[in-house]
Structure 1
C-alpha cells in the first residue's frame, strides 16, 4: 500500500472539570487478568463518500475518550509487581495516513471469500513491544484518493473486551454525528458503567467450587495448559469465507430439523460454529478416536447474579469448551453438535462466574501469582491448535452503530491470524445479512477446507 504522507501524534482530552476517576490507580480485576495480554486490532472500512474530516473524527474521539478515561491511561505495575490501570490522561496515539490511490481499498472490500490480504496489518498501528507505559488505544486514519476511509485501531484487551470496545465505538460515532455542543459538558450522557470492581465481588469467605487453575489460569508453572505444536508462521494461511444469509437460514433449518427438537432456538453463531467445527475437523484428517474441543468466548454480563449493565466498560468474558470425539463429531447431526455447544456454554452460569471471582480473591489473599491461560502458547505465531479450535464471535457487537455520518462500515475486518484453528465470525462486508469467517489454517489443510466449507453433507 503506497502512502504519500503519515503523521503520528499523541492526543488527550482537555477537561473543564476533571473526570471523577482522574488520577486513579485502578487494579486489574480477575476478568482483566484472565484476558489476553495483547493489543487487539480491528479495521473498519468506509467507502466514498467517507465520514467527516480527520479533525472532526479526532474531536469526537477525544470527547468519547473523556467519558472512558481508561483509554487515555496507561498500564503500570506497583511496587509489588501487580499490574493496574493508571488513569493519568496521557492520551491516545493517532496516526493519519494519505494513500496514493483507491485501488488498495477496493482490494480490501473485495477480500471476502478469498485468501485474506497480506497487508491488512498496515491498516492499523503497529503494537508497541513494551506494553507497560504505552498507550492502550492507537487509532489510524487511512484516507484514500477515491474518497474512502479505513480506520484501523488496536486496543489493549485488559482494558476492554470486544463488547465494551464496540459500545465505545458507537458512542464515538454518535458524538461525531452530533458535532460539538459547548453547553453539554465534558462527558457524554448517559455515561458508561465504569465500576470495574462490581464485576468481581467475592463471597465472604471466598468459596471457589470449580478448578479455575486448569481453565482460566495456570499456576505460574504452566499447570493446566494444553500443549500445541508450533510451525513457521508463514505456514499458517489466513482465509476469509463468506456465508450468505440464505446459507445461514438453510443451516438453521437443518440444525433444527435433525436435532430431535425443532422448536429449540438455534442461533446463527451456534449453527455456524457447528458447521465450521465439522468441516475443519474433516479437512484436518484426524483420527476418529481423537478428541477435539472448541474454546468459546462467553460474555458474562447478563449471566452473573446480579447481572451487570450491558454498557460495563471493561472485561467480563470467560470461556466454554465443547468437546467431542472426532468420529462422533463427524457422524453427528447438526442438531446434536449445536446441542453440545449450547449445553456447554450454558454451564458458564452465575454459579460458575461467582466461583471464578472467589478463586481470584482466594489467590490474591494467599499471594499466589496467577498466569492467564490466555497468555500461553496459543498466542504465539505459528501455533497449531489442532485437534482443537478457538472462536470469537463479533456478531452481537455494536459495530453497525459505528456510523460517523455516512452510514455504518461497509466491512469489518479481523486482524491477521497467525494461529492455526483460531477464528472470528463478523457481520459480512460482502453479503448483506451474511457472516464472514476469518480463520487461520496450516497450508496443508487449506484446499480441503475450501472444497467442503459450503457442503452440509
Structure 2
C-alpha cells in the first residue's frame, strides 16, 4: 500500500518590511523569460534524518527570499496589457506535510507512487498565484523531503541552484552575511538601436508557422514511461577514453544516449534527428552576465544528424557535432535574439499589446521522437544543498510527461556518477534498457 501524504499546515510567508527589496516595482519580462516554459517546474530533494526543524527552514527561506524579490512577487499586467513581474513582496507559499512511513523504505519501494504529492500544485492561470511554492514533508524516521514548484518565467535552472544554495546557507549560518544575486533583468537584454535580428527566432525559440512543434504528435499519457539510468564514474571515464579528445561529462553522455535512444526507436536511416539542447548564455553574451544573475538566460542549440550518420559515426564525431552546434550560440546569436525581442515588443505595443510570442517549450503528451530535449543540472553542486546535516541523499524526479525529454543530474550516491531521468514511448523502453550501457558505436 502506498504511503499517504497528509498536509498539516499551509502558510504564506511574506518578507518583513525591513528585509523586503521588491519595492512594488513592475518589471517587464525579458525575451529570455518569454522563451522559457510558461508553467511551474517542480524539484524534489530528500535528506535522511536528523534534519532542521520546519521553523528553521522557514526562517532561512524568508531570509533568502528577501534577496530574491522576484520569487516573492506575482505576475501582473503593465500599462500596455503585457505580462510583467510585480515585485510586491506578496510572499511564497509553504506547505507542511507528514508521511506515516520510513523515508528509506519509501525511496526503495514506493516513492514513485506519491512523488506528485511531495511538491505544491500551482496553477499558472490563477490570478495572484505565488511564483514560488515549497512543501516540507516529514517521514516517521526523521527524514525530510523538500519539494518546490517555481514558475519557469521567473528563473532558469542556474538561477534556482544559486537560490537553493543561498537558502541552505541561511539555515546553516547567520543570514546577515548572505550574498545578494544580480537581479537587473534589463542589463541582460540590451538591444541595438535600431534592433537588427539576423536569425529566424520566430520559428526557433517561438512558435511560428514553420516551427518544428507543428510536426510533433501527441501520445496518451500512459504510453509515456519514465525511467532512471545511473552512469557510474567508471562508465563516464570509459566514455571519455572512447572519445579520446577533451570533452565534458555532459557531451560524452549526450552523444552516447542520443545514439542508444535512436537505436531503440528503430528509426529510418534517412530520417533526421536533433537534440534541443539548453545553453546557458551568461558567459557567452557580450559583455558577459554574472553567473549569479537571477532570471532566465538560456537559449537552445540543435545538433542534427541523419540517423544512419549518427549510428555509424564514432563517439568523437558525434561529440564534435554537439560541440560545434553549441558554439554557434555565441554573442552574435544572443544579440540577434535580444534584438528580435525588442522588435517584437515594439510591434506588439503598436498593435495593441497582448502576448503574441508563444514559446516552443513542450507541453504534456508531446512526443519528440525522432528528436530529444535535454537539460543538464551537472553544474548544480548538490553538496552545497546542506541545511546543516549534510547534502541530500536523493534527487527525486517528478513525472516527466513529454516523450524524449532527458535530465542529467549529479548522482547523490556516495560513489558519485551521473543519473539520467528520461521519458520514452513504452514501446522503446526495454530495448533502450538492454543497450544503454553498451559502448559499441
Q: Which TM class, normalised by the smaller chain length?
A: over 0.9
Give the aligned partner of residue 2 of structure 1.
4
Name the SS of the counterpart of 2:169 in structure 1: helix
Give aligned pairs, total. Answer: 433
Distance in 2 (alpha carbons) for counterparts of 1:422 and 1:17: 39
2:358 is the alignment partner of 1:372: yes
2:125 is the alignment partner of 1:124: no
Conserved? CA contact 1:116–1:240, under 8 Å: no
1:245 aligned to 233, 239, 257, which one? Answer: 233
Name the SS of the counterpart of 1:420 in structure 2: coil
Distance in 2 (alpha carbons) for counterparts of 1:235 and 1:17: 48
Distance in 1 (alpha carbons) for counterparts of 2:39 and 2:292: 22
CA deviations 1:67-106 (Å, max 9, x no partner) are 111111101223533110001111111011111121x543
Pair 5,201 (structure 1): closer, same or farther in 2 beyond 3 Å: closer
C-alpha RMSD of the superposition: 1.8
CA deviations 1:165-194 (Å, max 9, x no partner) are 1100101111100145xxx4xxx5431101
Conserved? CA contact 2:42–2:149, under 8 Å: yes
2:169 aligned to 168, 174, 177, which one? Answer: 174
Conserved? CA contact 1:245–1:431, under 8 Å: no
Pair 127,222 (structure 1): closer, same or farther in 2 beyond 3 Å: farther
Give the aligned partner of residue 17 of structure 2.
15
Conserved? CA contact 1:278–1:329, under 8 Å: yes
The structural deviation recorded for 1:22 is: 1.2
Conserved? CA contact 1:77–1:132, under 8 Å: no
Conserved? CA contact 2:279–2:298, under 8 Å: yes
Question: Structure 2-normalised TM-score?
Answer: 0.94
The structural deviation recorded for 1:17 is: 5.5
CA deviations 1:180-214 (Å, max 9, x no partner) are 5xxx4xxx543110101111001111111111111
Distance in 1 (alpha carbons) for counterparts of 2:19 and 2:391: 32
Conserved? CA contact 1:228–1:384, under 8 Å: yes
Name the SS of the counterpart of 1:318 in structure 2: strand
CA deviations 1:97-122 (Å, max 9, x no partner) are 111121x54332x47xxx98242111
CA deviations 1:298-319 (Å, max 9, x no partner) are 0000000000001100000000
Distance in 2 (alpha carbons) for counterparts of 1:401 and 1:17: 24
The structural deviation recorded for 1:450 is: 0.4
Give the aligned partner of residue 107 of structure 1.
106
Distance in 1 (alpha carbons) for counterparts of 2:314 and 2:286: 34
CA deviations 1:47-74 (Å, max 9, x no partner) are 1222x10000000000000011111110
Distance in 2 (alpha carbons) for counterparts of 1:283 and 1:18: 52
Name the SS of the counterpart of 1:106 in structure 2: helix
1:211 aligned to 193, 200, 210, which one? Answer: 200
Give the aligned partner of residue 253 of structure 2.
272
The structural deviation recorded for 1:9 is: 1.2
Q: Structure 2: which 5+ residue stretches go unaligned?
A: none
CA deviations 1:111-139 (Å, max 9, x no partner) are 7xxx9824211111112252542001110
Distance in 2 (alpha carbons) for counterparts of 1:446 and 1:356: 37
The structural deviation recorded for 1:227 is: 1.7
The structural deviation recorded for 1:18 is: 4.6
Name the SS of the counterpart of 1:374 in structure 2: coil
Give the aligned partner of residue 138 of structure 1.
133
Name the SS of the counterpart of 2:112 in structure 1: coil
Name the SS of the counterpart of 2:135 in structure 1: strand
2:389 is the alignment partner of 1:426: no
Give the aligned partner of residue 147 of structure 2.
152
Give the aligned partner of residue 388 of structure 1.
371
Distance in 2 (alpha carbons) for counterparts of 1:164 and 1:98: 29
Pair 222,133 (structure 1): closer, same or farther in 2 beyond 3 Å: farther
Give the aligned partner of residue 259 of structure 1.
none
Distance in 2 (alpha carbons) for counterparts of 1:77 and 1:106: 47
The structural deviation recorded for 1:349 is: 0.4
Conserved? CA contact 2:207–2:360, under 8 Å: no
What does 1:44-443 correspond to in 2, within 5 Å?
Answer: 44-50=45-51, 52-102=52-102, 104-108=103-107, 110=108, 117-128=112-123, 130-179=125-174, 184=176, 189-219=178-208, 223=211, 225-256=213-244, 262=245, 265-367=246-348, 370-375=356-361, 378-380=362-364, 382-430=365-413, 432-443=415-426
Pair 61,152 (structure 1): closer, same or farther in 2 beyond 3 Å: same
